[in-house]
Amino acid sequence: MTAALSVRGLGVALGGRPVLHDVTLDVRPGEFVGLVGPNGAGKTTLLRSVLGLVGRTGGTVEVEGGPVARTRHRVGYVPQRHEFAWDFPLSVEEAVVAGRVRRIGWLRRPGVADYRAARQALERVGMTALRRRPVGQLSGGQRQRVLVARALAVDPGVLLLDEPFTGLDIPTQELLTDLFADLGREGRALLMTTHDLVGAMHTCDRLILVNRTVVAAGRPDELRDADLWRAAFGIRPGSPLLAALGVA
């Protein structure tokens, strides 16, 4: 099976300082993969590099078998909430339609198909009733659902999620967890950065441990060696984190 997302030998430097080196990973269609590592490990930078938002010093990125420069329209991206301009005067529906700008074109107005895609995405995240509300009036959980809808409105084959559960109440976490599982069953590939390691062990099909490069990867039941987590997170033997993860 061709990987939906394939990264080979990726390197990134920011401000002349190496941030990532020799990152190689695959995400297959239908997989929900967690990308985990300590603060500063390069997780968000990796997602942004896949998107072409930061330059690469080396390596290749392919989406659905083609160079990402040609297949970028098949990638949906859910950034961290603080990256979106919530004070901009947009309704919920307008914010989601704006997520299709790469398909629409920068100088073209959205058409019927764009609004249809936006409304289908809003329905999936349970935000249809609020589609006319200004985004600045939304709660944190509602804002997160808008960001997910923006990504879904492009009908992505690959979905990149940057800390999608941070600061959310339990009902919203459960809604999104169920949605991500449904998207995987539809054959979409999901790659998610998260600090919720225990949650990732229970919900992700595979985990990729990153600290500037890939330290380890596998199904949660294959990552029971405490040394792998110590290498990725720089923690001491007997750390409470290891006990919480149930690794020895």
**Could you report the per-residue pLDDT of 129-161, keeping only the tens digit for each?**
999 999 999 999 999 999 999 999 999 999 999
pLDDT in tens, 43-63: 999 999 999 999 999 999 999
Local structure of 151: helix, strand or coil: helix
Mean of pLDDT values over 15-23 = 93
CB count within 10 Å of CB 196 equals 17
Residue 248 has what pLDDT?
Answer: 67
Residue 190 has what pLDDT?
Answer: 98
Residue 82 has what pLDDT?
Answer: 86
End-to-end CA distance of the chain: 33
Q: How confident is the model at residue 106 (pLDDT cuts 50, 70, 90)?
A: low
pTM of the model as a whole: 0.94
pLDDT in tens, 171-230: 999 999 999 999 999 999 999 999 999 999 999 999 999 999 999 999 999 999 999 999
Task: Annotate 183-203 with DSSP letters as a single string.
Answer: HHHTT-EEEEE-S-HHHHHHH
Residue 103 has what pLDDT?
Answer: 67
Q: β-strands 158-162, 189-193: how paired?
A: parallel
**Which domains does the chain possess?**
5-245 (3.40.50.300)
Q: How far apart are CA 130 and CA 144, in angstroms?
A: 13
Question: Contact 206/219 with Cβ under 8 angstroms?
Answer: yes
Residue 109 has what pLDDT?
Answer: 78
Tokens of 234: 């720089």
